[in-house]
Structure 1
């Protein structure tokens, strides 16, 4: 294994220090905790807090800033943050209007975030939550009851964050977050597994001519292993599973995300996106906005996921609203 690190034990600490050093205009770190919050505070609005295990960068700290998150917690690599870390993030982000937790559906995340929410409520902080579960690959997994939360979570951060920035109440922000969750679906694949630094070897083995369909973002293998085909054929497999949900129909309008898993060249992501557009055009589905890049990664995994979000006028306005964060800037 070759990794550009100083040591396994301090990788998250050093990552956060480097992130804050690069973006002091956006974020600051809470002393003694693996938490970053907005450098200027939440400015008396509803606060959004999210997080999870490290290894998904730029999620989640890269989305702390105007129009998105107010705080993010970085657990150990692919490990849920502890309740005390989440609790400190809630307290630091709270601007007096309440806090919405955006939790990806993994058993440890849900349990620890809910414990932290109870601790914060005991302190008089109003806390509510939503749980993202956009992955259509599996109904249950090793780490979840129900579907996993993956790249579609970024649309929740953006749209709920815009609602909060515009002065929405905690109820308003939760409502639009749940609206996104109801209308967003994703599925991913890999041509090569990721290597967790502490493990020192790939999380699963693939032959040179094999791919994994339906992978998770924690190095989990997928639901089907098969011979590699063209990127168009692979994208069709992902899209067919997403379309089987029955949400996206002719005449609808969608936002698209073609998300790199961390080790995939942008060249290949753009080739995949070309075919996604062709398929949507052929189905009479209009594309409102497209995002291509690394948004929710799995360390150095080679592969991509496709996310579709059905949008209406309300969601389009919030999706298009300004944002200014280390990883997402929109005028």
Structure 2
């Protein structure tokens, strides 16, 4: 293992301290318990709180700011945050119009956010993100995993909350966005948790894990590496099959938002190659990509690999995607 480390036990605290200092105009980092909030909190809007294990940066703390989240609760690497972190974040924000928890579908996250929701005195609701098309159940979940579609939920619901949406309308939009999103990932290598000091799983140099999870969970199959275009074709086909299972109608010129997301160890040039191949394949289905992101948004530490997320757009989702956002890791129009 080669990483920029001091004591692995202090990795999260030092990283979050650096995040706070680098973006002190946007963020406040709190410890004991650990949570991150906007520098300035508007308690008279629906407060969006997310979180999960660290190692997926910039998700979630990198998306705190105008037009997205108000607070995030980072756990240790690939470890769920605790209910006291979530309650402390909500208490700090004092949500007069309620708190909305945005939770990726992993058993520990779900359990701990449910406990926080039951214990807080503030009105609250939860959106559960489960956009991974790869597998139904895994070692971390019951049901589909929550992955990069979370970024789209946080951005669109963040926009609605910023513009005065009430708790119910924010929940309704978030659930619709989740229903319209599907993702699948492919790993070329494993990732290495700092405290473990060794790869999470073994994979040969000439193999890929098709459908990998963002913690290194097994996917659909282990196979030989092949030209990118054929891998991307299988990824797009898996997503379209997932859309069919959701009864999402895809007609000629259906508008899509596409995220090509790196897992932390893949050059941006390769991500753009994936985007190019995906656009070619989608044009064969007469599907129209009208919004996009390419880069590292939901990572898996240092894993070499990438995921593709598609969201079937409607006017409301597209409009909220386009509104101004100003966070450490996502910014436009502001």
For the superposition of Structure 1 and Structure 2, which TM-score range results when normalised by the shorter chain? Answer: over 0.9
Match of 2:324 in 1: 322
Q: Check conservation: 1:66, 1:323, Cα contact below 8 A.
A: yes
- State the alpha-carbon separation in 2 of the partners of residues 277 and 240 from structure 1: 13
Unaligned residue ranges in structure 2 (runs of 5+): none
Match of 1:18 in 2: 18
Match of 2:263 in 1: 261
Q: Check conservation: 2:138, 2:217, Cα contact below 8 A.
A: no
After TM superposition, list the pairs within 5 Å mapping 1:1-331 onto structure 2: 1-120=1-120, 123=121, 125-245=122-242, 246=244, 247=248, 248-331=250-333
- State the alpha-carbon separation in 2 of the partners of residues 308 and 150 from structure 1: 12
Q: Check conservation: 2:262, 2:299, Cα contact below 8 A.
A: yes
Deviations 1:211-263 (A, max 9, x none): 11011111223221111011111111111111112134433111000000000
- State the alpha-carbon separation in 2 of the partners of residues 263 and 272 from structure 1: 15
Deviations 1:52-80 (A, max 9, x none): 00000001100000000000011000000
- State the alpha-carbon separation in 1 of the partners of residues 143 and 94 from structure 2: 30
- State the alpha-carbon separation in 2 of the partners of residues 146 and 214 from structure 1: 15
Partner of 1:10, secondary structure, is helix
- State the alpha-carbon separation in 2 of the partners of residues 242 and 222 from structure 1: 14
Deviations 1:106-162 (A, max 9, x none): 010000001011111xx2x11100100000111001110000000000000000000
Q: Check conservation: 1:269, 1:292, Cα contact below 8 A.
A: yes
Q: Offset of 1:275 from its aligned partner?
A: 0.8
Partner of 1:187, secondary structure, is strand
Unaligned residue ranges in structure 1 (runs of 5+): none
Deviates more, 1:249-258 or 1:137-146: 249-258
Q: Offset of 1:82 from its aligned partner?
A: 0.7
Q: Check conservation: 1:190, 1:304, Cα contact below 8 A.
A: yes
**How many residues get paired?**
328
- State the alpha-carbon separation in 2 of the partners of residues 39 and 101 from structure 1: 19
Q: Offset of 1:43 from its aligned partner?
A: 4.8
